[in-house]
Amino acid sequence: MRANPEARHRPSEAGVSDVVSLAAELAAITEHWRPRVVGGLNGQEVKLVKFQGEFVWHHHESEDELFLGVAGRFRVEFRDRAVEVGPGEFVIVPRGVEHRTVAEREASVMLFEPAGVRNTGNVEHPTLTAPGAAAAPHAFDFLPDTYATERLKTLSVWSQFRDDDMGFRPDPRARTPLEQMIHQCVSEDTWMRTMLGIEVSLPPLPAQETRLEFLGHYAAASAERLAALRTKAIGWYGEMTSFFDVPRSRSWVLVRRMTHSSHHRGQLTSYLRMLHRGLYSTYGPTADTGGLFQDQAPVIYRYESVEDLLEAEHDGGAWPPLSGAPGRKVTERGEPWSPAWSTPRA
């Protein structure tokens, strides 16, 4: 369970913590189901909480929990059984096991669990989720942050195709833009579900396979995945899963997933060049935004957010001006910019 993120009774520089009075700490708790951090050691937090009534069914993806009875009685219910816990007794709930706590009368409980655990686990509850109860900041936070930018990049490249481009096939052996969108949606859904255990409420594909429907559908599905990734604690990213038939960590699979998406997005930018279209930035400058990075060419994104993209695309799209690179080379060994290439919208 997650509460005040700053434990007040951690060991001091001398190596010994202050003496903690359970009675005094419990007296300071005025709300049920609101855990109070009273100590910490070895990446674990010691918490006190008062139970009364029924908690929400939930599980924790990566963390075990220990419930130690201090006063009163409570039970921990599982889907197939329940255990009663009294003062001086404890029970350990393993990670991934769905459970809830129930107390007919008020019970005081001590908890031991890794720092940063949300009290409602995989569930966001309007009243029972403790304020600020999100996964603690950790070394893998860059992965959901990267996924957030990658989904915008994918959608931005998709948005640069016209409806009549969806059947463009540069070679009999190549996918069309429509087929690339289908593959992205199906492949990402499969990887996320089967390798990372992240489910979404949407089917893999939109009901209608149009450019605009794919934009909206992938935006919604990837938003759900992003929200799930942001709830994961550090332990989840380090756990092993199966990458097809090879054991890999979840963090490895997520990085591989994003590079897979980037690979197909790169193919689509090549399609746009074959269609003689101007290109907005994906990571850095393009010939159409001003040429080479070393010549201080600017980065010009077509959209600043997924929300801006969806709103604009429903109204026909937004096209920030592309200046090209007059008088400058656009590749390291290529020709200077030609006015004939200035095709930002077509």
214-248 per-position pLDDT tens digit: 999 999 999 999 988 887 878 889 899 999 999 99
pTM here is 0.66
The residue behind tokens 């990402």 is: 188
CB 330 within 8 A of CB 287: yes
112, 220: one domain: no
5, 102: one domain: yes
170, 314: one domain: yes
Pairing type for strands 99-114 and 74-78 reads antiparallel
Per the structure, the count of domains in the chain is 2
d(CA 60, CA 50): 20
CB count, 10 Å around CB of 266? 12
Residues 92, 85, 107, 37, Cα dihedral to 10°: -20
CB 143 within 8 A of CB 254: yes
Residue 346, in any domain of the structure: no
End position of a domain, from candidates 92, 110, 136: 136
Kindly give, in sequence order, each residue whose CB lies less than 8 Å from that of residue 126, ignoring residues fewer than 6 positions away.
none
Residue 25, in any domain of the structure: yes
End position of a domain, from candidates 106, 136, 166: 136
Residue 203, in any domain of the structure: yes
CATH number, domain of 113, equals 2.60.120.10
102, 10: one domain: yes
Residue 196: give the domain boundaries.
Answer: 142-339
- In Å, what is the CA distance from 184 to each residue of 12, 96, 204, 215, 303? 52, 29, 9, 12, 20
End position of a domain, from candidates 136, 151, 168: 136
315, 168: one domain: yes
Please write the tens of the pLDDT for every residue from 121-167.
Answer: 888 787 888 876 555 567 888 999 999 999 999 999 999 999 999 99
d(CA 117, CA 135): 6
124, 164: one domain: no
